[in-house]
Amino acid sequence: MWTWIVTAAPDSGAAALNEIQKGSVPSRFCSWLAPGVAQFTSADRATTQRALRERPPIFVRHVSAVDLQVPCTGPSWDWDAVLAAVSGLDNLDKSLRTSVQVRPLEPIPSGMRQELTRRVSSHLTDRGVPIVVAGPQQVVSIVLAQGTAGLGVLSLDDALSAWPGGECRFKRTEGQVSRAEFKLLEALDLYPILICDGATALDLGAAPGGWTRVLRERGLHVTAVDPAVLDARVAGDPHVRHVQQSAQSFLRSTRERFAVVVNDMKMDARASCALMVQAEDCLEPGGFGVMTLKLPEKHPELTVRDSLDRLRVTYDLVGARQLFHNRSEVTVVLRKREAHDGGERA
């Protein structure tokens, strides 16, 4: 049997487990290790990984494999045992850029997380493994829970995130307009969108301008549509055009085309999907859309499934995930089908 640890937002733990159990993964739930962190077992490692790739989870934001376990209790750990276990990870590819993720799910001595990360990283470096902080190709995860250190190796694609537990952290920067900026930054980090510098973007429901500011930092010229006022730091940008009308009115009247359309409007998920379907006419062939689906408290999975079905009629789905910076919402990344430009929708 293989042991796995999956992480989701605390309020989405049940939805995440439901995805695992209905996603062609023959598995057995074991226990909750912490709010939103579940442990389960499966009969076959390769089958589980293949199932998760073929049906990427939406509410699961991070996966750890537990290949080996080492007892770790008290203020003084047996470092030799931990490092020997790291050496015993026989599926570690020494040619790949590797990050070490340490996740304590219970209180540990001060500084122990940093010390464990340092020692394991140094141990692997001595054995020729290229250790990196950003841009890894594989992840060595060490989850500290119930008096043990669970060690495992996964490719970045299978782990779902380069951040421990999927906890994608960004520093506040000078000029930041709103916390919502982190949502778009995380989406662009997870789903790289290739956009030429100087391309055009449309931000629907832009005020106060957080997403517009992120797009400008990526070199795009932005049309920000919202009846409300933009933050002065955004409004004063010469490459931001503020159209003070509703998104629906703008889409009905415009003939412009954009490389990117984004939508973080606080509205019913199905209505927001209808808006994005309408916005497809504004996208250049192969253009991208990024949106958030605001979810109800009950049965959010049904809302997501129905919303994605509506969007797939018009778009190719690049990805959908409840990101760390999402709250009761899911971020969706879309791409316009080239064949639809100027033609009939399927």
Per-residue pLDDT tens digits for 329-340: 999 999 998 764
Q: How confident is the model at residue 24 (pLDDT cuts 50, 70, 90)?
A: low
**For residue 232, what are the contacts with CB-CB under 8 A and spacing of at least 6?**
none
Catalytic entry in 183, 294, 298, 336: 294
Q: What is the pLDDT of residues 306-319, one digit of tens each?
A: 999 999 999 999 99
Residue 228, CA distances (Å) to 52, 184, 220, 231 in order:
42, 20, 22, 10
Q: What is the pLDDT of residues 95-154, one digit of tens each?
A: 999 999 999 998 888 888 899 999 999 999 999 999 999 889 999 999 998 888 899 999
Question: Which burial class, exposed, middle or buried, applies to 268 when counting CB atoms under 10 A from its CB (0-12, 13-18, 19+)?
Answer: middle
Q: How confident is the model at residue 74 (pLDDT cuts 50, 70, 90)?
A: low
Answer yes or no: 294 catalytic. yes
Residue 48, pLDDT score: 87
Residue 218, CA distances (Å) to 198, 279, 287, 300 in order:
9, 21, 16, 32
Q: What is the pLDDT of residues 255-307, one digit of tens each?
A: 999 999 999 999 999 999 999 999 999 999 999 999 999 999 888 999 999 99
Residue 346, pLDDT score: 37
Residue 343, pLDDT score: 43
Give CA–CA dist 206/214, Å, rounded: 11
Cβ neighbour number for residue 197 with a 10 Å cutoff: 8
Residue 264 near residue 211 (C-beta atoms within 8 A): yes
Torsion angles phi and psi, residue 316, rounded to 5: -90, 135
Residue 330 near residue 320 (C-beta atoms within 8 A): yes
Residue 108, pLDDT score: 82
pLDDT of 342 over the 50 cut: no
> In CATH, what number does 2-166 get?
3.30.2130.30
Residue 339, pLDDT score: 63
Residue 142, pLDDT score: 93
The domain spans of the chain are 2-166, 181-340
**For residue 105, what are the contacts with CB-CB under 8 A and spacing of at least 6?**
33, 34, 37, 143, 144, 145
Residue 76, pLDDT score: 61
204-224: average pLDDT: 96
Q: Which fold has domain 181-340?
A: Rossmann fold (3.40.50)
Decide which of 4 and 24 is more confident. Answer: 4
Q: What is the pLDDT of residues 33-44, one digit of tens each?
A: 999 999 999 888
230-253: average pLDDT: 96
